[in-house]
Amino acid sequence: MLVDLDAPEGAALGVPFDVCISGSGPAGISLALRLAKKQHRVLLLEAGGLTFTQTSNKVYIGSNTGLDYFPSNVSRQRFFGGTSNHWGGWCHALNKDNFEKRNHVPYSGWPIKKEDLDPYFAETADILDIETPRVPDYLQLHGEDPNLEKIDFSYSSPITRFGIKYRKAIESSENITCVLNANVVDFNLDENADSVSSLVVSNYNGGGFEAKAGYYVLCHGGIENPRTLLNANRQIKHGIGNSNDLVGRFFMEHPHFIVASVLANHSHPAFARYAGVKQAGLETAFYEPTRNLQEKEKILSFGLRFRPKEGIGTAPDTSSFKTRLKRFICESDTLLPLADSAKGDSRVNCPYDFHIKTASEQSPNPASRIKLGKEVDRFGNRRVDVDWQLTELDKHTLKQSALEVGRVMARKDLGRVRLSNWLVDSALSFPDTSHDEVGGNHHMGTTRMATSPEQGVVNKNLQVFGIRNLYIGGSSVFPTSGHVNPTFTIVQLSLRLADHLDDALI
């Protein structure tokens, strides 16, 4: 059933439900549907309506005080279906290594293993309608390189907009009551402050109700989950789940930067088959570092995206002497450094055929944070302040990704790779949003999963430490991010949480 809390008839919701889920993005809807299938009564609260409105979106407005980042009301969507109304559909599961502790990555290691999520792989693939195209191994590694390996990425196709795809199933479900324009604005805890007794829900007209259930699950997304908990400070001074000052810390993105430009060897036989192939016909290949390389170079994981440019395999235009000379210098490992140093402060402006982008894992860092700003929203809750920080380890990883592809291309004579200027600069600086993609709108880590409340906000079952019946869904629970897009893992975690709650409800 779908109910609109802004409409006059949006009322009779006072009956207790088994589970109250707040947020109807991929995390909330996957969880609701699985619980409903198991015959549990679910109250699904959604702050927005069926379509985008400025009224709802404005609640997401906030500030950025860290590295240059997207405005927080642009980087997510606040209506039915959540940010899946906007996402790109790129999908991949985390690999085994991503869950493990690595000595050179502080705060790494999940309290669960890949095997805990594997049973949900097939259903997640089905929910997200994924397909996996075959993409050429442009770098010709054939699984034999000790440092880099190609991985196959999947795509949601046709792209799954949760609000559109699952509206009918929710509307017709006897077990789900989905309330639109229902903003969770506060929590009521019991007298010991160790369980939730109800959620305070408001519409946009000054009305509302108290949502009651046996269990509550917050699925507001990786920025809003911590903001909601931090604002819930009426009964617990520093916010719910925040007794160790961890809510909002460890904010991670997937840094997305152009790390290098490629001057390709157009006459290499590997490229011959792409002569005349249009850009649209050239798909992106993904390469990631082997565990061996990560340990040797002490780096994070990364996804190097290699998409050659149209015209590769066709002889480049070298009609003028100057162009020929420049290519000659830029292709020479000996001449180029000499030419660079002769230029003084700047480097030779080498021609290039295409750029290489890396989307990297970000190191978990307590100083990278979602905080509360000074301004308040229409409900009196403090707006979000995003303080995104990257470290030397992040920059070192991005640089190594470029060096590795350079090594492979030079060794195989596929071309020459030139690192981006900012990467060879020793300062800890990064391009801003006017010069590069910067991030993927992936918001992770801010209510991290851990084995103890000293190390995180939720336990391995996603229950908030110290609050018996409150759980969290979404990528805010990721202790580390891997380099792959988060939604596949978000859905796997929601399905696993549904099974956990099913057991608890029996």
Strands 285-289 and 302-306: what pairing? antiparallel
Q: Among 369, 457, 486, 497, which residue sits at the site for ligand FAD (rule: CB under 6 A)?
A: 486
Q: Shortest Cβ contact with ligand FAD: which residue?
A: 25
- The residue among 135 and 141 lying less far from ligand FAD, judged by its C-beta, is 135
x/- site string to ligand FAD, residues 428 to 467, per CB under 6 A?
A: -------------xx-------------------------
The torsion of the CA quartet 472, 473, 477, 482, rounded to 10 degrees, works out to 180
**Shortest distance in whole angstroms from residue 103 CB to ligand FAD:** 29
The tokens describing 332, both together, are 């020479």
Smallest gap from Cβ 151 to ligand FAD, in A, equals 15
The residues, any chain, with a CB within 8 Å of residue 309's CB and separated by 6 or more, are 264, 279, 282, 353, 354
At a CB cut-off of 8 Å and minimum separation 6, what does 420 contact? 257, 258, 259, 260, 261, 402, 431
Which CB, 108 or 181, lies closer to ligand FAD?
181
Cα 54 to Cα 59, 77, 194, distances in angstroms: 9, 11, 36
By CB under 6 A, what part of segment 70-99 binds ligand FAD?
75-76, 78-79, 82-84, 86-91
26 binds ligand FAD (CB under 6 A): yes
Half-sphere exposure for 80 (CA within 13 Å, toward CB): 20
Instruction: Considering the complex, state which of residue 91 and residue 405 has its C-beta at the smaller distance from ligand FAD.
Output: 91
Choose between 419 and 501: whose C-beta lies nearer to ligand FAD.
501
Type of residue found at 364: P
**Closer by beta carbon to ligand FAD, 386 or else 419:** 386
Across the strands, what pairs with 444?
Answer: 252
Question: Judged by CB under 6 A, does residue 22 bind ligand FAD?
Answer: yes
Q: Which span (22-30, 115-123, 234-242, 325-333) binds ligand FAD, by CB under 6 A? A: 22-30
Which residue's CB is nearer to ligand FAD, number 90 or number 352?
A: 90
Find the binder of ligand FAD among 5, 21, 23, 463 (CB under 6 A): 23
Tokens describing residue 62: 């906030």
How far apart CA 442 and CA 73 sit, in angstroms, is 14
The answer to whether 254 contacts ligand FAD (rule: CB under 6 A) is: no
Closest of 196, 256, 273 to residue 228, by C-alpha: 196
Min separation Cβ 25 and ligand FAD, Å: 2
Q: In the sheet where 369-376 sits, what is the strand order?
A: 62-64, 382-387, 369-376
Q: How many residues bind ligand FAD (CB under 6 A)?
A: 39
User: What are the Cα distances from residue 319, in Å, to 315, 324, 325, 339?
Assistant: 11, 7, 11, 22
Stretch (H or E) spanning 154: strand 154-156
- Show contacts with ligand FAD in window 215-244 (CB under 6 A): 219-221, 224, 228
170 part of the interface to ligand FAD, by CB under 6 A: no
Among 13, 19, 21, 45, binds ligand FAD (CB under 6 A): 45
Contact residues: ligand FAD, CB under 6 A: 22-28, 45-48, 75-76, 78-79, 82-84, 86-91, 183-184, 219-221, 224, 228, 441-442, 474-475, 485-487, 490
